[in-house]
Structure 1
Amino acid sequence: MIRSNRLLVGRDDLMATTSRSYRYYDLVMAAFVTVLVCSNLIGPAKIAQVDVPGIGSYVFGAGVLFFPISYIFGDILTEVYGYARARRVIWTGFAALFFASIMASVVVALPPAPFWEHQAAYEVAFGNAWRIVAASMVAYFCGEFVNSFVLAKMKVAQRGKHLWKRTIGSTIAGEAVDSALFYPLAFYGTGIIPNEALPIVMVAQFFTKTMVEVVFTPVTYKVVAFLKRAEGVDYYDRNTDFNPFKLEP
């Protein structure tokens, strides 16, 4: 239960709310950015395979373990603090991802010392082609904003009830956009993944990422309830400007 004196916002007090200081907002933002950078730097270099009883071998990119968690943090940010503050975090994540990609390319391009024999392995781990990096950033940008927009609209329409419907529903929308953009932009015509196999890969990744959201729903509930109590806010985006390129409230 959220205490009865919680602050319900979203009408004419937008400026007052967005100028408030919150105890945990920065921590949630830091967690979001950390997961996002890890998903793009640690995960893409490895293709994993697990044996699922009754199904057989399941092959997936290791980054799929990280990226859905960023959507969970996106859900938490929008649900508790509203779209405007989530928008700032999305842009912060975009900037961090861009910087990390630039620095990874610089470090990979530096000439190795004659006695250092691990350049090839380093290039495999951190030398993602710029086409893949660009595709990842475009897909992230569009998918995260779709996720936040859908959740904010569903919350107002549902009057704050049925949190699980909007966390899962917004993730379905956001992950669908993300998968539909990333794989064609990154791999179509490259031969890395056959063109005819792209739809299968897209559906598999979309399903896996969405299931992560479903599995983590109880955790999302607990975190959202804690933050609403601790921060004294439960934001409703009734008069919000949803322009993704507007950084000010």
Structure 2
Amino acid sequence: MAWRCSGCSNAELISNLYRAQLITASRVRDAMLGVDRAHYCPENRRDEAYTDSPVPIGYSATISAPHMHASACESLLPVLGQDNGEERRILDIGSGSGYLTHVLANLNSKGKVVGVDHIQPLVDLAIHNMQKSASGRTLLDSDQVEIVRADGRKGYAAGGPYDAIHVGAAAVELHQDLIDQLKAPGRLFIPVEDKGGWGEQYIWVVDKGADGKVVKKKTMGVRYVPLCDAPA
């Protein structure tokens, strides 16, 4: 989609994605308009900031393509309320550059978002990137956003339970710790490696109902970096 959704500015990129219906919710569009993607791309890849494509950020990690971030946000919207005062808690695993953590905070202005990464330099990078904008600094200073180092496969129980959990790297399984840290109701969005052995990955959307019943749904095929151990 990069060829038709690229822009010369963040506003143009998001407008093109909305026009192409890769963003369909105006609330998600507005949240993404409020976060300049250039603040989260490396200086030497700044010319790729406004393309609909992933960008490497070091440590074998990437900032995902904007249309994938939009898809994740729209999947989680049903458990985020109407953003008119509800205090929701969101866990962003594999927070990487910090971009989606910031977008999720815009969708959850009355609640809290915890970003988790297992690589300390990426934790530091995400905080640094958020500090490039006034809104990012406010979110950090108010503790509406917290970014910590932890093993995302185990979630981050200290900040939970969560209304929504987003995982930005491919897991080898649907980790039970993450499901356990969901509120009831709550939703988990996670890419998982397929058991078929062909290297495919699929997004799984896991819903925990108000009665605690868990429903798992396999959706679209994707390509994410793996959710794994930190490099030695």
User: Structure 1 length normalisation: TM-score?
Assistant: 0.29
Structure number with larger C-alpha Rg: 1
Higher strand share: 2
Higher helix share: 1
